[in-house]
Amino acid sequence: MNEQTNNPLPPSLTPLKLVVIFACLLGATLAVMGVCVLFGQTSLTWLVLELRLGRLIAAALVGAGLSVGGMALQAILRNPLAEPYLLGISSGAGVGVLIGMATVGMFPLWMASVPAPMFAFVGAMVTCVLVYLIAQQRGRLNAQSLILSGVIVNVFNGAIMLAINLYISRYQIVEFSQWMMGEINELTPRTTLGICAACILVGWAWLFIRSAAYNALGLGDDVARSMGISVGRLRIETFVFVSLMAGAAVALAGPIGFVGLIIPHIARLLLRADFRVLIITSGFIGAIFLMIVETACYALAPLVNVASIPVGIVTALCGGPFFLMLLRRGLRRETI
Amino acid sequence: MTSQPEPQTSREILSVNDLTFGYRPEVSVLRGVNLSADVGKLMCILGPNGSGKTTLLRCMLGRLHPTKGSVLLEQKPVHKFSARALANLMAYVPQQPASAFSIPVREIVLTARLPHLGVLGLAGQKDLEIAAAAMQMTDTLDFATRTIGELSGGEAQRVMIARAIAQQPSICLLDEPTSHLDIRNQMLIYGMMQRLGHDWNMGVICVSHDINLASRFADTLVLMRNGSVIAAGAPSEVITEDILRETYNVDIELIPVEGSSPIARAK
């Protein structure tokens, strides 16, 4: 395709361009992963490297899952402040873990016979179904009611967690609050990692396939419908796959906030592109971002005399001010 | 009016037959509406607020199902079409242009090709040519790489019209496309709608609030009040002081203009 001579419009997006973008980003991600594995290592034993690699793979998956989920949610809700947590996914996972502690008595959290991530995952998915059931009206999903349902379910989940806290032991509360800070644990079983990886990668691929429709959805529901897009189905599909991805991310690393908000914005600032490119890019940027944060936490922990710094604390500390900045800017300008 | 469409091109594309619709069963918003739109012609629907213009448009779009009567597109009930099949025949331009995200104008226009394309909607050479032609017609090529948020209201609305044209529909429905625009952009857009009919041989239906612009550009005017059609026909037939008074419930005088349609003004 090089007959762009007399066409006033340059070609927008070709399969070749997509493949090149994908390959470059994948290469960059792997390069960052390589640097992160070796960063700050004094002894290069296989065991240490393997543990580091496991954590970095988990960090990359979580970063990608949350970022792509945030990007897709922002597209279907036409709200630049949407992210997976808004839908109550993290609090749902929290309820799941707490129920696991209260019933199976998992302690310590990561050694239990039924892995905590499974409880987190089930909790997240149940919450998503609940949010959907509240938000839908005769099978249709409306943007505002989805956001509101998420907020309401979040509050409700918070209350349930406090209530369960009354019934579990003090040690379990400590264990639980550590999980709630968002820490990528190196003792996550291989099977859990595999299941979560599959959820995130399948979700990513699916959302990418639907990303062309997000461009149209940005023009309003009626215009999107007039272009043959079944808007309700697109919302439901997206919602289901984002839930799957975010549930898996929370299961792997606990609730890590603001990644799903920051990364899509950075991706949009870096490149003025449509959603097909943005869905790919934001995933890789998210993976790179969380690997770097994780490595920083790993390297910094001995310097501040703690065993480990949960990644969630760092992302929340960066993300809070960032969110406020976006909010202030959004008040001044209508579109972003 | 001035440019005579060729005989074979003037065929009916959309017909509304005895259409009755109510959001609640006891209150009818539309009562027995009949009209027929041809390709190659611009039809403007006029009427006061709450007369059912937009509801009628939504029935034509297949978004609302008639309580009684029917809307036929190419002889087939409009709600029987699949979303994709309908998108190949009919395009829609909303009142306010909006894009929630900073997507380049070129990609916005290219979304129109989605009903014609495969999974990822990757535009081929033909699609780019169609989009370029649509943008040329609406004079939007200059800002192909800018985003909607960076454009003026008039420019943004022209992009939305370019998008509708790039869909290559047989009929295009517009809901008060000029309501927020200055007089130059109003003229530009009415001129475009007329050209879409006369030169591009599309059926064009536009809901409008501007009696003067509509009667100057349209081939057919439909005047509505309380969910019924008061009058329909060529502007010279239906723009009379009596009909306008009946439609808008206000005394309107017509000031003759040499060589053009008279100007309507509230007394």
Residue A216: pLDDT over 50: yes
Q: Is the predicted ipTM greater than 0.90, yes or no?
A: no
The partner residue sitting opposite A227, judged by closest CB among B107, B112, B129, is: B112
Q: What is the CATH number of the domain that holds A236?
A: 1.10.3470.10
Residue A3: pLDDT over 90: no
**How many CA atoms, within 13 angstroms, populate the side-chain half-sphere of residue B233?**
8
**How many CA atoms, within 13 angstroms, populate the side-chain half-sphere of residue A164?**
21
Taking an 8 Å cut-off on Cβ atoms, the answer to whether B100 and A335 are in contact is yes
What's the mean per-residue pLDDT of chain A?
83
pLDDT tens digit sequence for B14-48:
999 999 999 888 888 999 999 999 999 999 999 99
Number of domains observed in the structure of chain B? 1
* DSSP line for A191-208: HHHHHHHHHHHHHHHHHH
For the beta carbon of residue A304, count every other beta carbon within 10 angstroms: 7
pLDDT tens digit sequence for A41-56:
777 788 888 888 888 9
Which residues of A are less than 8 Å from B91 in CB distance? 226
Taking an 8 Å cut-off on Cβ atoms, the answer to whether B102 and A3 are in contact is no
Residue A166 lies in a domain: yes
Number of domains observed in the structure of chain A? 1
Judge whether B69 and B16 are in contact, CB under 8 Å.
Answer: yes
pLDDT band at A58 (very low <50, low <70, confident <90, very high): very high
Taking an 8 Å cut-off on Cβ atoms, the answer to whether A12 and B106 are in contact is yes
Place of tokens 């998956």: A61
- Domain limits at B50? 7-97+171-266
pLDDT band at A9 (very low <50, low <70, confident <90, very high): confident
- Give me the total of CB pairs closer than 8 Å, taking one residue from chain A and one from chain B: 137
Cα distance from A278 to chain B (closest Cα, Å)? 10
DSSP lists the bridge partners of residue B257 as B260
DSSP B148: G
pLDDT score for A114: 55
Long-range contacts of A22-30 (CB under 8 A, 24+ apart): A22/A280, A25/A280, A25/A281, A25/A284, A26/A284, A28/A284, A28/A288, A29/A60, A29/A284, A29/A287, A29/A288, A29/A291
pLDDT score for B139: 92
Taking an 8 Å cut-off on Cβ atoms, the answer to whether A227 and B87 are in contact is yes
Taking an 8 Å cut-off on Cβ atoms, the answer to whether B102 and A227 are in contact is no
Cis peptide before A108 (omega within 30 of 0): yes
Residue B146 lies in a domain: no
Percent of chain A clearing pLDDT 90 (strictly above): 26
Taking an 8 Å cut-off on Cβ atoms, the answer to whether A226 and B112 are in contact is no
pLDDT score for B145: 86
pLDDT score for B121: 80
Residue A6 lies in a domain: no
Which residues of B are less than 8 Å from A227 in CB distance? 87, 111-112, 114-115, 167
Mean pLDDT of B44-70: 92
DSSP A83: -
Which of A3-7, A88-92, A135-139, B79-83 has the largest mean confidence?
B79-83
Query: For residue B129, what is the nearest residue in chain A, using CA coordinates?
Result: A7
Cα distance from B185 to chain A (closest Cα, Å)? 21
pLDDT score for A133: 85
Which residues of A are less than 8 Å from B99 in CB distance? 218-219, 335
Cα distance from A272 to chain B (closest Cα, Å)? 6
Tokens for A55?
């954590």
Residue A142: pLDDT over 60: yes
pLDDT band at A4 (very low <50, low <70, confident <90, very high): very low
Query: For residue A276, what is the nearest residue in chain B, using CA coordinates?
Result: B120
Dist. CA B154–CA B188, nearest whole Å = 9
- Using alpha carbons only, give the angle A182, A186, A188 rounded to the nearest 5 degrees: 85
Taking an 8 Å cut-off on Cβ atoms, the answer to whether B119 and A212 are in contact is yes
Judge whether B156 and B97 are in contact, CB under 8 Å.
Answer: yes
Residue B79 lies in a domain: yes
Residue A16 lies in a domain: no
Dist. CA A295–CA B145, nearest whole Å = 38
Judge whether A90 and A84 are in contact, CB under 8 Å.
Answer: yes
Dist. CA B33–CA B20, nearest whole Å = 7
- Domain limits at A256? 21-329
pLDDT score for B134: 94
Dist. CA B164–CA B260, nearest whole Å = 30
Residue A2 lies in a domain: no
> Which of A186-195, A237-246, A286-295, B67-76 has the lowest average pLDDT?
A186-195
Q: What is the CATH number of the domain that holds B35?
A: 3.40.50.300
Dist. CA B121–CA B112, nearest whole Å = 10
Taking an 8 Å cut-off on Cβ atoms, the answer to whether A228 and B100 are in contact is no
SS3 state of residue B96: coil
What's the mean per-residue pLDDT of chain B?
89
The partner residue sitting opposite A8, judged by closest CB among B61, B107, B132, is: B132
Taking an 8 Å cut-off on Cβ atoms, the answer to whether A9 and B141 are in contact is yes
Query: For residue A227, what is the nearest residue in chain B, using CA coordinates?
Result: B87
Dist. CA A29–CA A124, nearest whole Å = 28
Query: For residue A4, what is the nearest residue in chain B, using CA coordinates?
Result: B125
pLDDT band at B198 (very low <50, low <70, confident <90, very high): very high
Taking an 8 Å cut-off on Cβ atoms, the answer to whether A12 and B90 are in contact is no
Max distance between CA atoms of chain A, in angstroms, equals 74
SS3 state of residue B31: strand
pLDDT score for A14: 82
**How many CA atoms, within 13 angstroms, populate the side-chain half-sphere of residue A34?**
6
Place of tokens 């502690």: A101
Q: What is the pTM of this model?
A: 0.86
Cα distance from B34 to chain A (closest Cα, Å)? 23
pLDDT score for A47: 82
Residue B49 lies in a domain: yes
Task: Please state the length of chain B.
Answer: 267
Which residues of B are less than 8 Å from A281 in CB distance? none
The b/e string for B31-47 (b: 16+ C-beta within 10 A; e otherwise) is bebebebbbbbbbbbbb
Residue A269 lies in a domain: yes
pLDDT score for A107: 53
The partner residue sitting opposite B114, judged by closest CB among A222, A228, A230, is: A228
Residue B202: pLDDT over 50: yes
Place of tokens 């290069």: A44
Q: Read off the amino acid at residue A72.
A: A
pLDDT tens digit sequence for B150-174:
888 899 999 999 999 999 999 999 9
Taking an 8 Å cut-off on Cβ atoms, the answer to whether A9 and B103 are in contact is no
Residue B155 lies in a domain: no
Instruction: Choose from B60, B79, B101, B110 for mutation: most chain A CBs within 10 A.
Output: B101
Query: For residue A278, what is the nearest residue in chain B, using CA coordinates?
Result: B103
By CB atoms closer than 10 A (0-12, 13-18, 19+), residue A155 is exposed
pLDDT score for B32: 92
Task: Give CA separation, B198 vs A255, B3, B23, in Å.
Answer: 60, 7, 36
